[in-house]
Structure 1
Amino acid sequence: MRPGLSLRVSQHLALTPQLQQSIRLLQLSTLEMAQEVEQMLDENPFLERGDEQADREAFGLEQQDAPVPAGDRIAEQAVQTDAATEGPASDDGSDIEAQADGSSPLEESWDGDGSVEMAPDDAEWGGDAPARGTGDDDDSRSAADLARTPVTLQAHLHDQARCLRLNPHEQAALYFLIESLNEDGYLTESLEELAADFWRQLYPDAGTDPAPEERDEAGEYLRMALGWLHSMDPSGVGARDLRECLRLQILELRNSPQAQAALAICQQPTELIARRDVRRLAALCGLEEDLVRSGLALIASLEPKPGRRFADAERNVIVPDVIVSRAGRGFKVQLNPDVMPRLRLQDAYAGALKQGRGAKDAEGGHAAMQQRLQEARWFIKNIQQRFDTILRVSSAIVERQRNFFMHGELAMRPLVLREIADELGLHESTISRVTTAKYMATPFGTYELKYFFGSSLGTETGGNASSTAVRALLKQFITAEDPAKPLSDNQLSDLLKEQGIECARRTVAKYREALRIAPANLRKQL
Structure 2
Amino acid sequence: MQKLSLQQKLLQKLSPQQIQVIKLLELPTLQLEQRIKKELEENPILELEKSSSDQVDEEYDNELKSNNDVDNEEFSVDDYLNDEDLPSYRYQANNYSSDDKTQDMPLTEGASFHEILMEQLGLIDLTEDELVLAENIVGNIDEDGYLRRDLESIMDDLLFMQNIQTDEEKLNVVLKKIQTLDPAGVGASDLRECLLLQLKRKSDHDLVIETATELIELHFDEFSKKHYEKLIKKMDIDDDLLRQAIQEILRLNPKPGSSYSNTIGRSSQVIIPDFILELTDGELVLNLNQRNIPELRVNSTYSNILKDYKNSGGKSNSHQKDTALFVKQKLDSAKWFIDAVRQRQQTLLLVMNAIIHYQKEYFIDGDETKLKPMILKDISDRTGLDISTISRVSNSKYIQTHFGTFQVKYFFSEAMHKEDGEEVSTREIKQILKECIEGEDKRKPLTDQKLSDFLKQKNYNIARRTIAKYREQMGYPVARLRKEI
Match of 2:444 in 1: 485
Q: Which has the larger radius of gyration?
A: 2
- Give the direction of change, closer, same or farther, for the CA distance of 1:22–1:454 in structure 2 (3 Å limit): same
Match of 2:236 in 1: 288
Single out whichever of 292-301 and 461-470 deviates more from structure 2.
Answer: 292-301
Work out the CA distance in 1 between the residues paired with 2:173 and 2:45.
58
Please say if 1:329 is aligned against 2:288: no
5 Å-filtered alignment, 1:341-356, equals: 341-349=294-302, 351-352=304-305, 355=308
Contact 1:49 1:343 in 2 (8 A): yes
- Give the direction of change, closer, same or farther, for the CA distance of 1:344–1:362 in structure 2 (3 Å limit): closer
Residue number among 419, 428, 443 corresponding to 2:378 in the alignment: 419
Match of 1:432 in 2: 391
Work out the CA distance in 2 between the residues paired with 1:162 and 1:354.
73
5 Å-filtered alignment, 1:8-27, equals: 11-27=10-26
5 Å-filtered alignment, 1:462-477, equals: 462-477=421-436
Residue number among 473, 477, 497 corresponding to 2:456 in the alignment: 497
Say which SS state the counterpart of residue 291 (structure 2) adopts: helix
Q: Which string of whole-angstrom CA distances, capped at 9 and with x for unpartnered residues, describes residues 476-512 of structure 1?
A: 2222222222222222223222333222222211111
Contact 1:129 1:340 in 2 (8 A): no
| One-letter identity of the residue aligned with 1:45 | P
5 Å-filtered alignment, 1:142-161, equals: 146=106, 154=112, 158=116, 161=119
Please say if 1:298 is aligned against 2:248: yes
Q: Which string of whole-angstrom CA distances, capped at 9 and with x for unpartnered residues, describes residues 33-88 of structure 1?
A: 3443343344333334445259xxxxxxxxxxxxxxxxxxxxxxxxxxxxxxxxxx
Match of 1:44 in 2: 43
Give how far 1:338 is off: 3.4
Contact 1:129 1:339 in 2 (8 A): no
Give how far 1:164 is off: 6.4
Please say if 1:248 is aligned against 2:197: yes
Work out the CA distance in 2 between the residues paired with 1:417 and 1:15.
22
Contact 1:325 1:333 in 2 (8 A): yes
Match of 2:336 in 1: 378
CA RMSD of aligned residues (A): 4.8
Contact 1:129 1:342 in 2 (8 A): no
Say which SS state the counterpart of residue 259 (structure 1) adopts: helix
Contact 1:157 1:232 in 2 (8 A): no
Say which SS state the counterpart of residue 325 (structure 1) adopts: strand
Q: Which string of whole-angstrom CA distances, capped at 9 and with x for unpartnered residues, describes residues 403-436 of structure 1?
A: 2123411211111111100110100111111101
Give how far 1:516 is off: 0.5
Contact 2:196 2:217 in 1 (8 A): no
Match of 1:387 in 2: 345
Structure 1 residue ranges without an equivalent (≥5): 55-126, 200-208
| One-letter identity of the residue aligned with 2:44 | P
Work out the CA distance in 1 between the residues paired with 2:207 and 2:111.
32
Single out whichever of 42-51 and 424-433 deviates more from structure 2.
Answer: 42-51
Match of 1:212 in 2: 163
Contact 2:46 2:299 in 1 (8 A): yes
Work out the CA distance in 2 between the residues paired with 1:364 and 1:276.
79
Work out the CA distance in 2 between the residues paired with 1:34 and 1:514.
34
| One-letter identity of the residue aligned with 2:361 | N
Residue number among 415, 422, 425 corresponding to 1:456 in the alignment: 415
Q: Which string of whole-angstrom CA distances, capped at 9 and with x for unpartnered residues, describes residues 128-153 of structure 1?
A: 9989x9xx9xxxx85xx54xx67778
- Give the direction of change, closer, same or farther, for the CA distance of 1:163–1:184 in structure 2 (3 Å limit): closer
Work out the CA distance in 1 between the residues paired with 2:180 and 2:336.
58
Single out whichever of 428-437 and 188-197 deviates more from structure 2.
Answer: 188-197
Match of 2:86 in 1: none
5 Å-filtered alignment, 1:2-401, equals: 11-50=10-49, 52=51, 146=106, 154=112, 158=116, 161=119, 184-186=144-146, 210-213=161-164, 227=177, 231-233=181-183, 235-237=184-186, 239-255=188-204, 256-267=206-217, 272-278=222-228, 287-288=235-236, 290=238, 295-306=245-256, 315-349=268-302, 351-352=304-305, 355=308, 358=314, 359-361=317-319, 367-401=325-359
Contact 1:324 1:334 in 2 (8 A): yes
Work out the CA distance in 1 between the residues paired with 2:350 and 2:391.
14
Work out the CA distance in 2 between the residues paired with 1:43 and 1:190.
53
Work out the CA distance in 1 between the residues paired with 2:252 and 2:403.
32
State how many pairs are aligned.
428
Structure with the larger helix share: 2
Contact 2:302 2:327 in 1 (8 A): no
- Give the direction of change, closer, same or farther, for the CA distance of 1:305–1:159 in structure 2 (3 Å limit): closer
Q: Which string of whole-angstrom CA distances, capped at 9 and with x for unpartnered residues, describes residues 196-245 of structure 1?
A: 99x9xxxxxxxxx74322x869xx99996995585324x44555543343
- Give the direction of change, closer, same or farther, for the CA distance of 1:240–1:321 in structure 2 (3 Å limit): farther
Q: Percent identity?
A: 31
TM-score, normalising length: structure 2: 0.71
Work out the CA distance in 1 between the residues paired with 2:349 and 2:402.
18
Structure 2 residue ranges without an equivalent (≥5): 54-95
